[in-house]
């Protein structure tokens, strides 16, 4: 395959285990910094500008402490330089019910972060990164919901139920 025709998606498809390891490794590296802003700064790889990092961090802080992030999100989305990825992160949080915003936010950030980690030096397509944020948000939110639902039931019972 012509190198110019290759994309991060074809690189992922060629070796999904390597892509998974790359995503986990980068997340571990940024997690060691003990600040969410490092995950957000890493999103520069996928089009989030450094100027967006602080407003996104403030939105995240509001969500994590349980405050209403609506006005901060609306102000952020009105900014003329909002990236597609940053806009997706903010919109996902804005549209989620308050009880699930934290999971949606962290999942969206981690999904976009994993997409950055698996770009393998190729310029990532913004649509792919936004899709990764959506998938990350949905996966994390669904995982949290299942965990809460299964609190009274074991994972083994859940997996083996046939009715």
Radius of gyration of the chain (CA): 17
Residue 89 has pLDDT above 80, yes or no: yes
Task: Note the pLDDT tens digit of each residue in 6-36.
Answer: 566 777 888 889 888 988 998 899 989 889 9
CB 134 within 8 A of CB 89: no
3-state secondary structure of 76: helix
> Considering the chain, what is the average pLDDT of its residues?
88
Q: So where are the chain's domains?
A: 9-160
Task: Note the pLDDT tens digit of each residue in 64-81.
Answer: 999 999 999 999 999 998
pTM: 0.85
Distance, in Å, from the CA atom of 72 to the CA atom of 69, rounded to the nearest integer, reads: 5
Distance, in Å, from the CA atom of 113 to the CA atom of 31, rounded to the nearest integer, reads: 12
């Amino acid at each position: 395959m012509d190198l110019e025709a290759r994309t991060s998606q074809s690189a992922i498809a060629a070796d999904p285990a390597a892509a998974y390891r790359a995503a986990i490794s980068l997340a571990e590296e940024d997690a060691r910094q003990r600040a969410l802003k490092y995950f957000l700064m890493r999103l520069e790889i996928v089009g989030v500008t450094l100027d967006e990092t602080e407003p996104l961090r403030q939105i995240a802080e509001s969500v994590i402490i349980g405050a209403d992030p609506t006005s901060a999100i609306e102000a952020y989305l009105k900014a003329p330089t909002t990236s597609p990825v940053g806009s997706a992160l903010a919109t996902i949080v804005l549209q989620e019910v308050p009880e699930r915003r934290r999971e949606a936010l962290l999942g969206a950030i981690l999904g976009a972060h994993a997409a950055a980690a698996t770009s393998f030096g190729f310029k990532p397509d913004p649509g792919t990164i936004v899709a990764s944020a959506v998938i990350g948000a949905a996966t994390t939110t669904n995982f949290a919901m299942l965990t809460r639902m299964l609190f009274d039931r074991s994972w083994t019972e859940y997996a083996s139920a046939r009715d």
